[in-house]
Amino acid sequence: MEDGSTLAPFSYGGKRKGRGLRSRARGGSRVLRTMLVCVCALCVVGGFILAAQFSSMAGIYRQDGEVQVVGSKWPAMQTSEGAIAETTTVGDEVKTNRRRLVSRIGFGSCTSRVAIAQPIWSNGIIPSDIDAWIWAGDIAYTDWPDVNCAKNPAHVHCNCTRDWLRSNPDSCLAGDVAHARLKFEEQLSNVEYIKFVNFMCSTSKENSWRSLDLSSCDRPILGTWDDHDYNWQDGDKRMPTKEEQKQLFLDAIGVPAHSPRRNKGRGLYWRHTLNEGVSGREIDVLLLDERFDRDTKPCHTRRDFCKFTNPRKTKYMWCKDFLEGGADGTGSCCKKDDLYWHGWCKLPQNRANPAWDQFCNPKSSSYGFADGNSKIFDKNSTDEALSWSVTDQVDDANDSSVLCEILGPQQRKWLKHELESSKAALKLVVSGSPLISNPTEVVCSQARKKHPAAYCKCYDDFDCFQPAQRNLLHMFTTAPGCVVVLTGDFHFSDIKVLQPGNHSYSNDYDSTDLPRPLVQVMASGLTNNTAVPAPCEGFRIDTVGLRPNGACDFVSGPAFGVIEVDWLTSPPIARLQIRGGGGQLLLEQKLPLDTCIPAA
């Protein structure tokens, strides 16, 4: 995200106190209660041996095509210990494997820009006894110099020729693969993190897990990346070394060498099904890649700001690229949303066009799958309204998409298919960038005293990519089962609930008609360095009512998220939580898995 350095252009008014560290003491007794419930739940499980559930499939295949379980029947049974016993028959031989039943999933993001202690693994995450862990981005700050560039401008890591990739002093190392390797190494050598991986993976001995598939540990480790893992703060699809960087990241989270996630030309998005084959208890984890195919920021989101800003000031040098970069020198910003969403789609006469849904309606299942180069937009068309030529007007001549993309057409298609075909009662969609951020405008800069104020309504998240965002909001609230969004990036943690109906954010998210609410859990900042105590103001204050417990109900100290599913209640209930550095419960939202409507 635009943390620290790039958030600097914003100035915030008002001073309100955040919930932050103070509320933890109160949270302490709540966590104790939760633990007791868990223990009891386990006792209840102990009383039953749940009926074996037979899969009719001839074999269960992993996404990478590897056969996981072979046999004509695949019985998966929950044992008295809360484990899953799998029996497979190969010839005359019957084999039984035991797997943990996954009920408590931890997730988090944002370690630290420089190497510091990470006590949260030992003090908070391991004691929470999680059955799986999901990285939601920024496992390492690979683009970040280890020196303070403001104090050491002559340092070799701070003094580089400025261009669109290295636009400010702290980004001289963007795209530097050798430096990225060192930064990942630093994180993987962190003693607390090693303890954590050894806890998750009983098969790992000492540091030997480097070559393991961590998604097949007893307690799987999964993940996706965000801008700092991607090696470019707020980076987009133009990243020159993204393929190399992807390999480094997948190495770091223990993805095997033969995984299709490593294939060239695609982002690292992926589905991983937890409790696979256990009827009623599957959890689909949909790991998004919101960097690899991300367009540049839509032009309208920063045009005013950049016009008022002095691009010679190193802090705002990215504006030069934004306004004057790109192949034709008319700016590297994404023009598609200006052209269609804010342009063609707003003209009343175009409503009747047969292509309107494909181009203009993010709630349509055909939205975004139109080919912008198709004959509908042929320049020779006699219809004035159809005379747009995409190839003439977007920044990337090869781009046939009709919206400013954050996932890209290929990944959107995949996601739609996964959501529609998923049988899982709970789907966790993991995105490095928040899907729901903060639609409040903030004054962009104090530096332009002579100019009228320019406002910014989005940061580096989906709020900037409005049609793409609305498309996902619609998909997530119409998919079978319940979808919960897990995210990170902002260096604080909170829970937001987007409600259908009439609210002060309804226009911003076009959410009035959503068929059901959508919950987003943001867990960001695992260390002192990234989760510094921060006041409830600026982009941290929620003035529109997305936080169920008030404008300042967020956590600013080191924290992680937990999704805990109680399978034995009727209906099963997911508890969506933020826990602090000592594992104490700080925020919680219950979600019954029959209605997907958040409960008090």
Judged by CB, which is closer to ligand NAG: 431, or 530?
530
Interface with ligand NAG: number of residues (CB under 6 A): 13
Footprint (CB under 6 A) of ligand NAG, residues 324-343? 327
Stretch (H or E) spanning 460: none
183 contacts: CB under 8 Å, gap ≥ 6: 140, 141, 142, 144
Under a CB-based contact definition with an 8 Å cutoff, are residues 441 and 456 in contact?
A: yes
Q: Can residue 154 be called a binding residue for ligand NAG (CB under 6 A)?
A: yes
Sign of CA dihedral 228, 230, 231, 236: negative
Q: Is the peptide bond before 480 cis (omega within 30 degrees of 0)?
A: no
Stretch that binds ligand NAG, among 83-91, 151-159, 355-363, 543-551 (CB under 6 A): 151-159
Which part of the chain contacts ligand NAG (CB under 6 A), choosing from 113-121, 281-289, 356-364, 454-462? 113-121
For residue 74, the minimal CB distance to ligand NAG (Å) is 44
Would you say 30 or 238 has its CB closer to ligand NAG? 238
As measured in angstroms, the least distance from the Cβ of 462 to ligand NAG is 24
Helix (H) or strand (E) holding 24: helix 24-47
Least Cβ distance, residue 473 to ligand NAG (angstroms): 19
Which of 46/533 has CB closer to ligand NAG?
533
Report d(CA 341, CA 303) in Å as an integer.
16
Query: DSSP labels for 384-452?
Result: GGG---HHHHSSSTT---SS--SS-HHHHHHHHHHHHH---SEEEEEESS-SS-----EE--SS-TTS-
Angle at 528 (CA atoms; ends 523, 531), nearest 5 degrees: 35
Judge contact between 1 and 460, C-beta under 8 A. Answer: yes
The DSSP code sequence of 223-285 is EE--TTTTTSTT--TT-TTHHHHHHHHHHHTT--TT-GGG-TTS---EEEEETTT-TT--EEE
Q: Should residue 349 be labelled a site residue for ligand NAG when binding is judged by CB under 6 A?
A: no
Which one, 37 or 397, has the nearer CB to ligand NAG?
A: 397
Position 410 contacts ligand NAG (CB under 6 A): no
Site string for ligand NAG, 354-393 (x = CB under 6 A): ------------------------x-x-------------
Q: Which tokens in the block code for residue 492?
A: 């604080």
Instruction: Using the minimum distance from each CB to ligand NAG, give the nearer residue, 56 or 161.
Output: 161
Q: Which residue is nearest to ligand NAG (CB)?
A: 154
Which C-beta is closer to ligand NAG: that of 153 or that of 280?
153
CB of 116 to ligand NAG, least distance (A): 6
Burial group, residue 376, by CB count within 10 angstroms (0-12, 13-18, 19+)? middle
Give the shortest CB-169-to-ligand NAG separation in angstroms: 9
Q: Which is nearer to ligand NAG, 64 or 192 (CB)?
A: 192
Q: Confirm or reject binding of residue 600 to ligand NAG (CB under 6 A).
A: no
- Which CB sits closer to ligand NAG, 150 or 397? 397
Write down the least CB distance from residue 483 to ligand NAG, Å: 26
Instruction: Quickly list DSSP for 469-532.
Output: HHHHHHHHHHSSSEEEEEE--SSSBEEEEE-SSS-TTHHHHT-TT-SS-EEEEE----STTTS-
Q: Please spell the DSSP secondary structure of 296-365, one letter per residue.
A: PPBHHHHHHHHHHS-TTSGGGTHHHHHHH-STTSS-SSB-HHHHTTTTGGGSGGGGGSTTHHHHH-TTST
The least distance separating ligand NAG from the CB of residue 42, rounded to whole angstroms, comes to 32
Q: Among 153, 260, 480, 571, which residue sits at the site for ligand NAG (rule: CB under 6 A)?
A: 153
Instruction: Tell me which stretch binds ligand NAG (CB under 6 A): 116-124, 301-309, 426-434, 467-475.
Output: 116-124
> Segment near ligand NAG (CB under 6 A), from 3-11, 152-160, 170-178, 490-498?
152-160
The residues in 298-327 that bind ligand NAG, with binding defined as CB under 6 A, are 327
Of 4, 28, 82, 119, which one interacts with ligand NAG (CB under 6 A)?
Answer: 119
Residues 523-552 that bind ligand NAG (CB under 6 A): 528
Closer residue to ligand NAG, CB minimum distance, 129 or 378: 378
Which of residues 3 and 284 has its CB atom nearest to ligand NAG in the complex? 3
Candidate residues 36, 49, 191, 397; the one interacting with ligand NAG per rule CB under 6 A: 397
Least distance in Å: CB of 125 to ligand NAG?
A: 14
Residue 84's nearest CA partner among 67, 71, 69, 97 is: 97
In whole angstroms, how close is the CB of 312 to ligand NAG at the nearest point? 15
Helix, strand, coil percentages, rounded to 5, for the chain: 25, 20, 55
Contact status: 398 vs ligand NAG (CB under 6 A): yes
Please check whether residue 347 is in contact with residue 385, taking contact to mean a CB–CB distance below 8 angstroms: yes
Q: Per the structure block, which two tokens stand in for 95?
A: 């084999």
Least distance from ligand NAG to the Cβ atom of residue 161, Å: 8
Q: How far apart are CA 325 and CA 322, in angstroms?
A: 6
Q: Is-contact 370 358, C-beta < 8 A?
A: yes
- 332 in Cβ contact with 164 (< 8 Å): yes
| 497 to 526: interface string for ligand NAG, x by CB under 6 A | -----x------------------------
Q: Which of 8, 83, 117, 453 binds ligand NAG (CB under 6 A)?
A: 117
User: Applying CB under 6 A, which of residues 11, 29, 96, 159 lies at the interface with ligand NAG?
Assistant: 159
Question: Which positions lie near ligand NAG, rule CB under 6 A?
Answer: 116-117, 119, 153-154, 159, 327, 378, 380, 397-398, 502, 528
